[in-house]
Amino acid sequence: MKHDDIEHKLPTFAVLVTIVILIGALVEIVPLYAVKANVPTLPEVTPYTPLELEGRDVYLREGCYNCHSQMIRPFRAETLRYGPYSRAGEFVYDHPFQWGSKRTGPDLARVGGKYPDAWHYRHMEDPQQTSPGSIMPTYPWLLQDGVDLSRTEGKMRAMRSLGVPYSDGEIARAEEAALAQAGEIVGRLGSAGIRVEPDREIVALTAYLQRLGVDGRRAIQGSGAPGGEARP
């Protein structure tokens, strides 16, 4: 049978293309389900707290991934600027991943702990306050809009269905834990002269940003693996 004969028989061509696609999909997907070891884990990497999970949703909603990646490549220029390169096990509880491919702004994979909470608040209020010349837009609504913590339990259950090991107890105490962590952030902001309610979106987003890369750095330090250090 000639190639032209197949192309001119649309039903036959469609069936053959579908078969080829299915074979390729099976070859790629089946091993991931058959071999659990294909999913790398790091004991230092733990799931997001309820408040961090809410902050991550704010991050996704605002499209932060369009300008900020979260994956440091294993090149000297990358590690000198951003810190140790990213490892697959750091993202095992991320659904979906936030690796990104475009850097209008800096990579955020290791931003956790780099700046105080007040810096993130002022940066979202007006990026020019903290980064003169920045082209990042302002996000004043994050300082005013609230997070509906009554929905956090449902989000954690959804994440558990994807493999995130949240316990029943952690899910049941989601709102309580979120408010406790928010209170700590509000206290630190208050020390910097910033007054904000604990259920504001900026508090949740700050919690998420301050978590990025923290577990990964701990894992790298614990293993003694090379990765480079960021410049101060």
Condensed to tens digits (0 to 9), the pLDDT of residues 145-197 reads 999 999 999 999 999 999 899 999 999 999 999 999 999 999 999 999 999 99
Q: Report yes or no: 170 and 53 within 8 Å, Cβ to Cβ.
A: no
Query: In terms of domains, do 134 and 182 share one?
Result: yes
Q: Is 203 exposed, middle or buried (0-12, 13-18, 19+ CB in 10 A)?
A: buried
Q: 187 lies in which domain range?
A: 50-223
Q: CA 103, 105, 109, 110: dihedral to nearest 10 degrees?
A: 140
Query: In terms of domains, do 204 and 125 share one?
Result: yes
Position 129 scores a pLDDT of 95
Residue 230 in this model has a pLDDT that exceeds 50 = no
Residue 219 in this model has a pLDDT that exceeds 90 = no
Position 38 scores a pLDDT of 64
Name residues whose C-beta falls within 8 Å of residue 222's C-beta, 6 or more positions apart in sequence: 44
Query: In terms of domains, do 206 and 141 share one?
Result: yes
Query: In terms of domains, do 63 and 129 share one?
Result: yes
What CATH number does the domain containing 219 carry?
A: 1.10.760.10
How does the average pLDDT of the chain come out, rounded?
90
pLDDT tens digits, one per residue of 105-142: 999 999 999 999 999 999 999 999 999 999 999 999 99
Segment 101-107 mean pLDDT: 91
Q: Is 206 exposed, middle or buried (0-12, 13-18, 19+ CB in 10 A)?
A: buried
